[in-house]
């Protein structure tokens, strides 16, 4: 589209500590003002205790160390001794964590703040902070004391923290960065940016997740630098033995999160910032998107083709062109004369409709949204009180200040019409915020910031998050407590509480398929598990092979949506000819078979704070080599995949962690703890199931809920030793699961030389419609003579495909196979 030319690429140049020095030093020797230079903490001279906070001072500056739990300790710095208001958009409101015990000890050279698991050591000589485990192993320590520099232009400080970096340390996290999984040797900045057609290693991108995990000598810890200003991270890039993070404003405030398992670090990061609520079941089906499907006849035709070709699909998206002159919350009646009827017809055919809403509101005195916003002073203003105006799709626009709770409330109500029209989900875009020409808002724009006030320098990185929060809250009310479906492009830490995310405007190249695999793993360990890429690539032209390989990866992306720019060729699963269509269809069908497994992984994310995608490093972090593997990952606890990332690739080396693994397509067993060469014909990809797993499976449906499940298929993969599996089921729509209206089935599989025992425990109040399980045994290494369920013998039957199975009551407790 030619409009794209309107946009100017945001400068992605990174300011270094040194270049910052050059910019803002305005020392005036005539007036007797102190020189602006980096100042370092001195020697702690005293401290005060205030319940679980300890405030140390060097006579002028203060450092607060607060014990949040046995594993989480927060450090704050106040250069002049007074801390800023303790407010964060990232930390969840109902934070309910506490240390079991803690104490402060003073030795000749240090203060030691101890919990049952962590020692925070404060060096008396120079105020350096270190974190150790109770055995005295250092996990993370300051290389030099925290430091700062006055900001003469805006007030406040540039704040810095520099840590020592051992030779073997590797780093993960930081959200959507398009770099290799291990961040070591690179410097990053966080400033949410509309980065159309971004490149490998381009930075910053759309999201700000200032959280990283360090792994050294096989042990992991995390640092969450909760600062919404433009922040920087240097992972041993400038100097090989130092890692620094700093900000252009706000407070040096970070959480140390103890491991030693990466999984524990991520779970504890979720304790602070929350998890994703259970999505509606349809949201994890296959979604078809395009910039844009219009007019109505086109949308209907796409829907018709899906059903005719029997390719499952749950949602169709309407991009900006459905609106009247890009005015949010309106319809272009020429393209969509009767949206309610169209959406109802689509719904009857099993399609949900998701629509785009941007933040830019057209300056138009005859447009009710503009009128309301103007009347109530909901739009952002510049430092000198002028309105913040900028050009986006609708032309000249003003922008709501979503950091004002009243504005969020209002914005939430604006969705009423769309909800009444039957719209099922909302897609928030351009919320970095993006403005044509100038990139984003200038720094002087003022924000309410929950009453704490701030310029755009402070609010920029949370603008998109607060927009989608308001969308989420609004939809939740309007849809009478049905689970909303929202998706956002910009995000800050904690956005998972309100939305899913996608990685923005990628390119249809093999390199971008690979970048997507890195980004989704990284987002997942950074708290944003409900994530996806534009399958097939947003801009540029994929061929059938790239599209199909990307679709295969899409099955194992928590959010599975094909999307593309309007100036590219058609991107429906059938657009590349029958050969590719058949493969795509079979993989979309695989997604639908795996739905109960995927849904269970979402539950484990929601309730147990487990990320959905897990890098191999997370499965076996003690093996140095695994810390560098980045092409394969676990999808939930029991499935491991290694997407094919090259054209014409015939086979691929896949490393399998310890234990046995089943190749999904033919149940061949592979031994873990080593690499295998796996064939990768076009219609397959390396998918492995962990031995000992119970994988639930639904029959293929054209959309979620198309058929009633009259019995649940469980595939039991024999494994020696013991394995746990969870299967989660609920009705898929409301928040009743918060009142325990769900069914969580916990299976333990124990495989012996001559026996296989499966036990089941259930919790929750939900009673499914089905009464029985159909159990398929896979890989049992001995001849089965007898199957006993809770003391009663059952017999094997053959299904339509001539595969043996047996049926058991869903309440069974113990199954013995021998």
Site string for ligand MIG, 257-296 (x = CB under 6 A): ----------------------------------x-----
Q: Which of residues 464-493 bind ligand MIG (CB under 6 A)?
A: 489
Q: At what angle do helices 578-593 and 595-608 cross, to 10 degrees?
A: 50
| Residue 356 binds ligand MIG, judged by CB under 6 A | yes
Nearer to ligand MIG, 550 or 655 (CB): 550
Please report where in the chains the tokens 């986006």 appear, as a residue: 392
Site string for ligand MIG, 379-418 (x = CB under 6 A): ----------------------------------------
Nearer to ligand MIG, 437 or 699 (CB): 437
Nearer to ligand MIG, 504 or 542 (CB): 504
Site string for ligand MIG, 120-139 (x = CB under 6 A): --------------------
DSSP letter (8 states) at residue 424? -
Active site residue 264: no
Q: Which of residues 534-553 bind ligand MIG (CB under 6 A)?
A: none
Q: Which of residues 93-122 bind ligand MIG (CB under 6 A)?
A: none
56 DSSP β-pair partners: 47, 63
* Tokens linked to 30: 């005539």
Residue choice 203, 319, 432, 632 for contact with ligand MIG (CB under 6 A): 319
Active site residue 429: yes
291 CB contacts (<8 Å, ≥6 apart)?
A: 1, 319, 320, 321, 563, 564, 565, 566
Instruction: Identify whether the C-beta of residue 698 lies closer than 8 Å to the C-beta of residue 709.
Output: yes
Instruction: Name the closest residue to ligand MIG (Cβ).
Output: 291
Q: Which of 429, 572, 660, 726 is catalytic?
A: 429
Nearer to ligand MIG, 58 or 534 (CB): 534
Nearer to ligand MIG, 130 or 283 (CB): 283
> Which DSSP string corresponds to 733-745?
SBGGGGGT-SEEE
Number of residues that bind ligand MIG (CB under 6 A): 10
Environment class of 264 (CB within 10 Å of its CB; exposed 0-12, middle 13-18, buried 19+): middle
Q: Label residue 378 left, alpha or beta by phi (over 0 means left) and psi (-120 to 50 means alpha).
A: alpha
Q: Which of residues 548-607 bind ligand MIG (CB under 6 A)?
A: 563
Q: Considering the complex, what minimum distance in angstroms separates the CB of residue 301 from ligand MIG?
A: 20
Nearer to ligand MIG, 277 or 291 (CB): 291
The Cα 692–Cα 689 span in angstroms is: 9
Q: Considering the complex, what minimum distance in angstroms separates the CB of residue 292 from ligand MIG?
A: 7
The Cα 144–Cα 146 span in angstroms is: 7
Q: List the one residue out of 597, 23, 701, 638 whose CA is nearest residue 307.
A: 701
Nearer to ligand MIG, 369 or 640 (CB): 369
Q: Considering the complex, what minimum distance in angstroms separates the CB of residue 502 from ligand MIG?
A: 7
Give φ, ψ of 361 to 5 degrees. -110, 125
Instruction: Identify whether the C-beta of residue 660 lies closer than 8 Å to the C-beta of residue 781.
Output: no
The Cα 758–Cα 799 span in angstroms is: 22
Site string for ligand MIG, 624-653 (x = CB under 6 A): ------------------------------
> ω before 730 within 30° of 0 (cis)?
no
Q: Which of residues 64-93 bind ligand MIG (CB under 6 A)?
A: none
Q: Considering the complex, what minimum distance in angstroms separates the CB of residue 427 from ligand MIG?
A: 8
Residue choice 219, 401, 505, 630 for contact with ligand MIG (CB under 6 A): 505
Q: Considering the complex, what minimum distance in angstroms separates the CB of residue 230 from ligand MIG?
A: 22
406 DSSP β-pair partners: none
Active site residue 505: yes
The Cα 90–Cα 576 span in angstroms is: 43
Nearer to ligand MIG, 61 or 515 (CB): 515
Q: Label residue 371 left, alpha or beta by phi (over 0 means left) and psi (-120 to 50 means alpha).
A: alpha
The Cα 213–Cα 522 span in angstroms is: 11
Q: Considering the complex, what minimum distance in angstroms separates the CB of residue 291 from ligand MIG?
A: 4
Helix %, strand %, coil % for the chain, to 5?
20, 30, 45
Q: Considering the complex, what minimum distance in angstroms separates the CB of residue 428 from ligand MIG?
A: 10
Q: Which of residues 417-446 bind ligand MIG (CB under 6 A)?
A: 429-430
Sign of CA dihedral 77, 81, 84, 87: positive
Q: List the one residue out of 228, 158, 215 whose CA is nearest residue 15.
A: 158
Q: Label residue 437 left, alpha or beta by phi (over 0 means left) and psi (-120 to 50 means alpha).
A: left
The Cα 433–Cα 491 span in angstroms is: 10
Nearer to ligand MIG, 323 or 712 (CB): 323
DSSP letter (8 states) at residue 449? G
Q: Considering the complex, what minimum distance in angstroms separates the CB of residue 532 from ligand MIG?
A: 12
Nearer to ligand MIG, 250 or 532 (CB): 532
Q: Considering the complex, what minimum distance in angstroms separates the CB of residue 558 from ligand MIG?
A: 18
Q: Considering the complex, what minimum distance in angstroms separates the CB of residue 563 from ligand MIG?
A: 6
Nearer to ligand MIG, 289 or 794 (CB): 289
The Cα 505–Cα 101 span in angstroms is: 48
3-state secondary structure labels for all residues of 625-638 = HHHHCCCCEEECCC
* Tokens linked to 397: 């626009």
The helix/strand/coil state of 343 is: helix
> ω before 292 within 30° of 0 (cis)?
yes
Nearer to ligand MIG, 57 or 568 (CB): 568
Please report where in the chains the tokens 């309107």 appear, as a residue: 6
Q: Considering the complex, what minimum distance in angstroms separates the CB of residue 11 from ligand MIG?
A: 18
DSSP letter (8 states) at residue 707? S
The Cα 508–Cα 512 span in angstroms is: 7
Q: Which of 319, 432, 473, 631 is catalytic?
A: 432
The Cα 91–Cα 774 span in angstroms is: 43
Q: Which of 296, 421, 505, 545 is catalytic?
A: 505
Q: Considering the complex, what minimum distance in angstroms separates the CB of residue 731 from ligand MIG?
A: 31
User: What CA–CA distances, in Å, run from 244 to 179, 234, 375?
Assistant: 18, 5, 46
Q: Considering the complex, what minimum distance in angstroms separates the CB of residue 507 from ligand MIG?
A: 12
Nearer to ligand MIG, 159 or 205 (CB): 205
298 CB contacts (<8 Å, ≥6 apart)?
A: none
The Cα 392–Cα 400 span in angstroms is: 14
| Interface residues toward ligand MIG, by CB under 6 A | 291, 319-320, 356, 429-430, 489, 504-505, 563
Catalytic sites, residue numbers: 429, 432, 505
């Amino acid at each position: 589209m030619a409009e794209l030319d309107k946009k100017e690429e945001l400068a992605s140049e990174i300011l270094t500590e040194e270049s910052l020095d050059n910019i803002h030093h305005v020392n005036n020797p005539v007036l007797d003002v102190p020189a602006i230079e980096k100042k370092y903490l001195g020697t702690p001279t005293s401290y005060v205790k205030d319940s679980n906070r300890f405030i140390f001072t060097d006579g002028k500056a203060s450092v607060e160390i607060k014990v949040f739990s046995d594993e989480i300790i927060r450090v704050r710095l106040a250069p002049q001794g007074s801390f800023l208001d303790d407010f964060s958009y990232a930390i969840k409101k109902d934070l309910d964590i506490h240390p079991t015990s803690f104490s402060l000890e003073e030795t000749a050279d240090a203060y030691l703040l101890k919990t049952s698991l962590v020692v925070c050591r404060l060096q008396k000589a120079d105020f350096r902070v270190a974190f150790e485990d109770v055995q005295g192993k250092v996990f993370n320590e300051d290389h030099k004391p925290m430091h700062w520099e006055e900001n003469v232009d805006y007030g406040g400080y540039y704040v810095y923290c520099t840590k020592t970096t051992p030779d073997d340390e590797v780093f993960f996290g930081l959200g959507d960065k398009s770099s290799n999984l291990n961040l070591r040797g690179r410097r990053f900045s966080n400033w949410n940016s509309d980065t159309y057609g971004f490149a490998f290693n381009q930075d910053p991108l759309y999201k700000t997740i200032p959280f990283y995990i360090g792994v050294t000598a096989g042990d992991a810890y995390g640092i969450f630098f909760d600062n919404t200003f433009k922040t920087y991270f240097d992972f041993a890039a400038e100097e090989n033995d130092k890692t620094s993070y700093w900000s252009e404003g706000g407070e040096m405030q970070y959480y140390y999160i103890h491991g030693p398992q990466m999984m524990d670090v991520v779970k504890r990061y979720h304790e602070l910032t929350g998890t994703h609520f259970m999505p509606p079941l349809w949201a994890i089906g296959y979604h078809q998107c395009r910039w844009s499907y219009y007019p109505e006849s086109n949308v209907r035709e796409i829907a018709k083709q899906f059903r005719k070709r029997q390719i499952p699909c749950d949602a169709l998206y309407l991009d900006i062109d459905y609106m009247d002159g890009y005015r949010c919350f309106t319809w272009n009646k020429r393209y969509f004369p009767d949206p309610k009827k169209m959406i109802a017809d689509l719904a009857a055919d099993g399609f949900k409709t998701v629509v785009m809403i941007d933040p830019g509101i057209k300056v138009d005195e005859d447009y009710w949204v503009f009128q309301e916003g103007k009347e109530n002073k909901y739009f952002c203003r510049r430092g000198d009180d002028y309105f913040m105006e900028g050009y986006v799709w609708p032309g000249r626009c003003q922008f709501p200040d979503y950091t004002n709770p009243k504005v969020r409330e209002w914005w939430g109500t604006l969705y009423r019409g769309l909800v009444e029209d039957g719209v099922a989900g909302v897609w928030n875009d351009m919320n970095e915020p993006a403005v044509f020409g100038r990139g984003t808002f200038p720094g002087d724009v003022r924000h309410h910031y929950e009453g704490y006030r701030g310029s755009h320098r402070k609010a920029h990185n949370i603008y998109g998050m607060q927009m989608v929060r308001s969308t989420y809250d609004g939809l939740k009310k309007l849809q009478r407590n049905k689970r909303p479906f929202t998706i956002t492009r910009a995000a800050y830490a904690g956005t998972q509480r309100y939305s899913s995310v996608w990685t923005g405007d990628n390119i249809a190249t093999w390199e971008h398929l690979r970048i997507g695999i890195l980004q989704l793993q990284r987002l997942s360990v950074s708290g944003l598990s409900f994530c996806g890429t534009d399958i097939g690539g947003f801009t540029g032209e994929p061929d059938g092979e790239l599209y199909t390989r990307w679709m295969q990866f899409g099955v194992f992306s928590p959010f599975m949506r094909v999307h593309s720019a309007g100036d590219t060729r058609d991107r429906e699963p059938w657009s590349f000819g029958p050969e590719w269509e058949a493969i795509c269809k079979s993989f979309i069908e695989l997604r639908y078979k795996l739905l109960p497994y995927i849904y269970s992984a979402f539950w484990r994310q929601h309730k147990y704070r487990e990320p959905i995608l897990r890098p191999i490093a997370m499965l076996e972090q003690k093996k140095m080599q695994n810390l560098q593997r980045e092409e394969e990952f676990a999808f939930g606890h029991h499935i491991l995949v290694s997407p094919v990332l090259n054209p014409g690739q015939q086979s691929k080396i896949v490393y399998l962690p310890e234990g046995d693994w089943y190749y999904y397509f033919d149940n061949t067993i592979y031994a873990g703890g080593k690499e295998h060469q796996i064939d990768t014909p076009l219609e397959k990809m390396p998918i492995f199931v962990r031995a000992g797993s119970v994988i639930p499976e639904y029959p293929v449906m054209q959309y979620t809920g198309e058929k009633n499940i009259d019995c649940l298929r469980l595939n039991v993969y024999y494994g020696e030793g013991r394995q746990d599996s969870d299967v989660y089921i609920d009705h898929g729509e409301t928040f009743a699961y918060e009142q325990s209206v769900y069914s969580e089935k916990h299976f333990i599989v124990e495989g012996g030389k001559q026996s296989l025992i499966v036990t089941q425990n259930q919790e929750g109040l939900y009673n499914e419609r089905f009464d029985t399980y159909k159990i398929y045994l896979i890989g049992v290494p001995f001849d089965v003579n007898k199957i006993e369920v809770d003391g009663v013998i059952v017999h094997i039957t053959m299904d339509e495909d001539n595969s043996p199975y047996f049926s058991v009551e869903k309440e069974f407790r113990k199954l013995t196979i021998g």
